């Protein structure tokens, strides 16, 4: 039974997450030639303070990206 764990930052609409679950389930079943009924997908949503990139909290990373976007 394939088990897929997905970690996401909070904030996406439930419909988008449900759509992703469907797409991932079919992709896993197809690529592994597994019965779709055996695929399990678990989605965990995280707050910004629970995630970091390159040693920086996600809040800081987003601020830096927004500033860089403004400069272009």
DSSP H or E segment with residue 26: helix 14-32
Q: Is 14 a catalytic residue?
A: no
Catalytic residue among 2, 13, 14, 57: 2
Token representation of residue 29:
């079943």
Catalytically annotated residues:
2
């Amino acid at each position: 039974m394939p088990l897929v764990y997905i970690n996401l930052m909070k904030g996406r609409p439930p419909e988008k997450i449900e759509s992703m679950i469907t797409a991932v389930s079919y992709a896993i079943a197809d690529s592994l030639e597994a019965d779709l009924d055996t695929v399990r997908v678990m989605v965990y949503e995280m707050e910004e303070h629970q995630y970091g990139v390159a040693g920086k909290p996600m809040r800081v990373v987003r601020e830096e990206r927004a500033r860089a976007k403004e400069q272009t």
